[in-house]
């Protein structure tokens, strides 16, 4: 068969009815554009979230006060007072699959440095916290185990706090007041950026756990214990081990529920990705429906076109076109319309993804596979929905078609 001529014939008939061809494509354009935009934004967001969770360290375990509720989400986690420094010490002493343990005491306080002041979160941790969170200091030094033991009034500032309290100055060695307690700044943390919930992780002050607990806090209850397992693969084993130690530490009988909960980064990661995956899936279903509607649009217009061109079909059959020739001609026409729609849809989708990405400041992942599949899929839609009208055209009786008014 003469493909070049057939494609030329199809292009000609598409160009003859430019407006109609475009309107026919519109369904496919919108469908493909939404698929491309949604998947690009969805994948981008997923990558962002995974990246942020990775940046917190993948072998992290978090022990939180309060029982874990339905679906692994702790009911009001942190609102119960069940964790103490003794728990953290016990884990450190007894656990074998754990390398680092740091209690975390969280307080909020007004911080004053000279004429500047700032309300921020003050976290009491131990000296190994920079290792656990893989969060090195940028200037100065982190406080030491000795500082923790001696309840030293030293502080390490997050980048945001440093910039706010000491704009253009070196804060190392400076004196600040946290609440009513004077501290000496010993270091500034490197910048970490936003966490996956979008809050600024650098808006923080780190100080020895003991200092925060006894000078700023209630002297007894800590907020959480951050533990790092020996490796990412051992996190589940480490989790069981830590759970057993915690139950012993809290003297829980066999039938009693945990009054604490343990979460791993992997879990958080899965939770986050499953949410975005669900969203992508849901929106893709919507996009799929619009592709279906686009396909039906093609079928509708092709049927009209076949009726309008009955005489032309009659002529072609009379001068020797086989049924297959007519079928192929209309299939090619449907395929070209939908492929053109697919192409325009891909362009529109990428532009839309870019605009959305900028609006919600998320990354965009352009996946060549998605684009290829969308393109091929639009062609398939054209051929699928073009088949019935094309079949109808090919089955026309030449004499009747010639006499069609």
Partner 1 sequence: MALIELKNLTKTYRMGDIDVHALRGVDMKVEEREFLAITGASGSGKSTMLNILGCLDLPSGGEYVLGGIQVSGLSKRELADIRNEKIGFVFQGFNLLPRTSALENVELPLLYDRAGRIKNPAGKAVEVLTRVGLGDRLHHEPNKLSGGEQQRVAIARALINEPSILLADEPTGNLDTTTSMEVIEIFRDLNRQGMTIILVTHEPDIAHQARRAIELRDGRIIKDEVL
Q: How far is Cα 97 from Cα 238, in angstroms, rounded to an integer?
A: 5
Alpha carbon separation from 24 to 7, 8, 30, 31 (Å, rounded): 18, 19, 11, 12
* Residue (of 222, 204, 209) closest to 111 by Cα position: 204
- Minimal distance, residue 16 CB to partner 1, in Å: 6
Shortest spacing between CB 399 and partner 1, in angstroms: 5
Cβ proximity to partner 1, 354 vs 398, nearer residue: 398
Shortest CB 297 distance to partner 1, Å = 24
Work out how close the CB of 5 gets to partner 1 at its nearest, in angstroms, rounded to a whole number: 5
Write a three-state SS string for 271-297: HHHHHHHHHHHHHHHHHHHHHHHHHHH
Q: How far is the CB of 14 from partner 1 (least distance, A)?
A: 13
State the burial class of residue 6 (Cβ atoms within 10 Å of its Cβ: 0-12, 13-18, 19+): middle
Unique residue bearing structure tokens 């966490």: 195
CA gap 63, 336 in Å, rounded: 59
The footprint of partner 1 (CB under 8 A) covers 1-2, 5-6, 9, 16, 311-312, 314-325, 398-399, 402
Q: Which is nearer to partner 1, 325 or 367 (CB)?
A: 325
Q: Of 3 and 119, which CB lies nearer to partner 1 in the complex structure?
A: 3
How near is the Cβ of 397 to partner 1 at its closest, in Å?
8
Helix residue spans in 56-155 (DSSP H): 85-94, 129-132, 145-149
Our CB check for partner 1 shows the closer of 4 and 93 to be 4
319 vs 359 by CB, closer to partner 1: 319
Contacts of 235 (CB under 8 A, 6+ apart): 58, 59, 61, 229, 264, 265, 266
Residue 270 or 312 with smaller CB distance to partner 1: 312
């Amino acid at each position: 068969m003469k493909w070049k001529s057939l494609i030329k014939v199809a292009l000609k008939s598409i160009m003859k009815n430019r407006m109609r061809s475009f309107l026919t494509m519109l369904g496919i354009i919108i469908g493909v554009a939404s698929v491309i935009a949604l998947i690009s934004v969805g994948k981008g967001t997923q990558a962002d979230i995974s990246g942020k969770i990775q940046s917190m360290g993948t072998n992290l375990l978090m022990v939180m006060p309060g029982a874990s509720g339905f679906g692994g989400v702790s009911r009001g986690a942190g609102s119960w007072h069940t964790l103490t420094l003794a728990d953290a010490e016990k884990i450190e002493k007894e656990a074998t699959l754990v390398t680092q343990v740091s209690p975390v005491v969280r307080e909020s306080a007004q911080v004053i440095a000279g004429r500047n002041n700032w309300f921020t979160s003050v976290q009491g941790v131990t000296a190994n916290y920079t290792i656990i969170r893989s969060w090195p200091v940028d200037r100065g030094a982190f406080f030491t185990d000795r500082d923790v033991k001696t309840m030293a009034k030293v502080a390490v500032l997050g980048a945001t706090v440093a910039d706010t309290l000491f704009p253009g100055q070196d804060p190392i060695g400076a004196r600040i007041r946290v609440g009513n307690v004077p501290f000496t700044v010993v270091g500034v943390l490197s910048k970490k950026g936003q966490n996956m919930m979008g809050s600024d992780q650098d808006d923080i002050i780190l100080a020895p756990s003991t200092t925060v607990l006894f000078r700023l806090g209630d002297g007894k209850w800590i907020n959480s214990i951050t533990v790092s397992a020996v490796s990412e693969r051992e996190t589940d084993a480490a989790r069981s081990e830590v759970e057993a130690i915690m139950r012993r530490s809290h003297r829980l009988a066999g039938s009693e529920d945990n009054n604490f909960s343990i979460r791993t980064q992997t879990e958080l990661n899965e939770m986050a990705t499953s949410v975005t995956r669900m969203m992508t899936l849901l929106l893709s279903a919507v996009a799929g429906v619009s592709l279906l509607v686009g396909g039906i649009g093609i079928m509708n217009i092709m049927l009209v076109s076949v009726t309008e061109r009955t005489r032309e079909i009659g002529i072609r059959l009379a001068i020797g076109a086989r049924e297959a020739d007519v079928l192929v001609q209309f299939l090619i026409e449907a395929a070209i319309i939908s492929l053109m729609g697919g192409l325009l849809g891909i362009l529109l989708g990428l532009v839309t993804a870019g605009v959305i990405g900028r609006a919600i400041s998320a990354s965009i992942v352009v996946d060549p596979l998605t684009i290829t599949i969308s393109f091929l899929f639009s062609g398939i839609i054209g051929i699928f929905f073009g088949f019935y009208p094309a079949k109808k055209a090919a089955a026309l009786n030449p004499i009747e078609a010639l006499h069609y008014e």
